[in-house]
Structure formats: structure tokens, C-alpha cells
Chains A and B, each alone.
Chain A
Amino acid sequence: MAEEKNRHIAFICSKGDLDMALPALIMGWAALGNGVDVTIFFTFWGLDIINKKRVDHLEIAPVANTSFKFSLMGLPTGNLGIPQWMGALPGMTAFATAFLKKKIADLDVPPVREYLQMLVDGGAKLYACKMTVDMMGLTMDDFVEGVEGIVTASDFIDMTEGAQIIFI
């Protein structure tokens, strides 16, 4: 009797902004909780998520972000967006980041570093993209504990055979 292969989801994290770092972490954790195997492949800007020096400093910028509107802060302004010139003022990125971090923390969502540890402890396998690693001159020493290794695109294709792949 052939053993049924366990459901496997692979997330590709290609972005390094705070809002784009969370989806894979949240869904990955939910998948682990439901007994699904999880692989997360960090590439390009996504390497910031597992970079020891960057993981606590992921940001969100209101500039060129048409979704970040005044109404997010509870103001009754409907669809009024933050003007681009305003978003470019010194301090706006820091403000937007602090604001988003607080909103997330209010929901008991852990900071990214802690989330990664939870995922590793729950059995998720984290990998860094070799091409990006080479491009940015990084090594395994630059990454948080729990990253399995640096793999090529071909490796990723092999290890995700049969898996559902989600690109973020």
C-alpha cells in the first residue's frame, strides 16, 4: 500500500517590506498547525526577512503605496490617499512602520523574528536563494538560526514536487 504523501505548501518570499513579510509567516504557521508540511524560500528582497541585521528593521513606506490611506489611521477620509509628497517627508516611513507594527501587535501577532522561530520549531524548512545570496555577498552566518541552507532555483523546483507553491 503506497504511503499517501503529506500535503506540502511552499512559500516564495520575494519582498522585504513588513506588510509583505507577514503573509507567508501567517499562512505557514496556519499550515503547520493543520499538519501541512511547510517550505519557505527567501529570495531577493525576501532575504531581509531572514537576515539577522534586517529582520527587526523591516519597514513599510507610504510613498508609492496606494493602499496606505488616511482611513487606516481611523480618520473618516474614505478613499483619500496620503499625497506622495507627504509620504516622502523625512520620518513618514518610520511613522508608517511604527503604526503598522502597533496594529499588528494589538492582534497578538508576534514580531517577524519570533514568527520565524515559531515556524522553525513547528517544523517549517527555510531556505535562502543562492543567486540572491551571491548577488548580495551573504553567507549562512548572516541568517537567523533555523535557516536550513542556501539552495538554487533547481533545488527549489526539486524539493517542491507535488507541493502547492505560493509566490509572495
Chain B
Amino acid sequence: MAVREIAGKPIEFDDEGFMVNPDDWTPEIAKVLAREEGIEELTDRHWKVIEFCRADFKARGEPPTLRRITKAGGIPTKELFKLFPKGPAKKVARIAGLGKPQGCV
């Protein structure tokens, strides 16, 4: 557990770098976390993924898995891997301020 100040707010992170409290998240924080994950700028398509994940988490209580993002979120697999290269699974969850996805698909 570590607390860092991001975009002016103290944010708690777990040992794997996921935000502990999804409610602490703001789009500004997303931008900072994205840069840490190697994504310099978040485009509309990035935001579509992030917003879907947060909405899905709110509706179902768990962070969506990659397949759910592609199926229910309507973002093609190829695009998802292009938007969040080198491992979208954890990257998306971190940037969206959610915990680690628990599913295997």
C-alpha cells in the first residue's frame, strides 16, 4: 500500500500499482497514470475504453476483463491492443482507476 499525490490528490495504490479506491479517480489522474504506462496522450478511443470500464465496473462491481471490453464495450481486439500496447489487461485497469481484473478471459 502506498499513497502518492497525483494531480493534486493523495491516491492510495496497492502493491501492484492499482488504485485502491475507484471513487478517487479523476480524468486528470488517468492522464498521469497513462503517461506512467507509456501512453503519452489519451485519444477519444482511449477514453471510450476507460469510460466503458468504469461504467461496467459500476454496473457489475468488478473490473471488466479484456474480452468483455471487446465484446460488451464494442472495441475490436486489434484496436485495444494498439491503444494500450504491451499488455492492455492491467494497463487499462490501472489507468481507469480500477482493481486488477479477476477473470481469465
- A32 touching B67 by the CB < 8 A rule? no
Kindly report which residue of chain A lies nearest to residue B92, judged by CB atoms: A33
Q: Besides the contacts A33-B87, A35-B86, A118-B67, what 13 more A-B pairs have beta carbons closer than 8 Å?
A: A6-B86, A29-B67, A29-B104, A30-B104, A32-B81, A33-B66, A33-B89, A35-B87, A36-B87, A108-B68, A109-B105, A121-B76, A121-B78
Tell yes or no: A138 within 8 A of B by CB: no
Chain B at the A interface: SS class: helix
Question: Are B81 and A122 in touch, CB under 8 angstroms?
Answer: yes
Number of interface residues of A (CB under 8 A): 18
Instruction: Assess whether B81 is in contact with A26, with CB atoms less than 8 Å apart.
Output: no
Q: Which residues of A contact B81 (CB under 8 A)?
A: 32, 121-123
Residues of B bordering A, CB below 8 Å:
66-68, 70, 76-78, 81, 85-90, 103-105
Give the residues in chain A near B76, CB-CB below 8 Å: 121
Contact string, A106-128, partner B, CB cutoff 8 A, digits 1/0? 01111000000110011100000
Residues of chain B lying within 8 A (CB to CB) of residue A121: 76-78, 81
Q: Which of A8-36 contact B (CB under 8 A)?
A: 26, 29-30, 32-36
Chain A interface mostly helix, strand, loop or mixed?
Answer: loop
> Shortest CB–CB separation between residue B2 and chain A, in angstroms?
22
Q: List 24 A-B contacts (CB under 8 A).
A: A26-B104, A26-B105, A29-B105, A30-B89, A30-B104, A32-B81, A33-B66, A33-B87, A33-B88, A33-B90, A34-B87, A34-B89, A34-B90, A35-B85, A35-B86, A35-B87, A36-B87, A108-B68, A118-B70, A118-B77, A121-B76, A122-B78, A122-B81, A123-B81
From B90, which residue of chain A is reached at the shortest CB distance? Answer: A34
Give, as a whole number of angstroms, the nearest-CB distance from B104 to chain A: 6
Decide if A122 touches B67 in the complex (CB within 8 Å). no
For chain A, residues 91 to 113, give those with C-beta under 8 angstroms from any C-beta of chain B.
107-110
> CB distance A108 to B67 under 8 Å?
yes
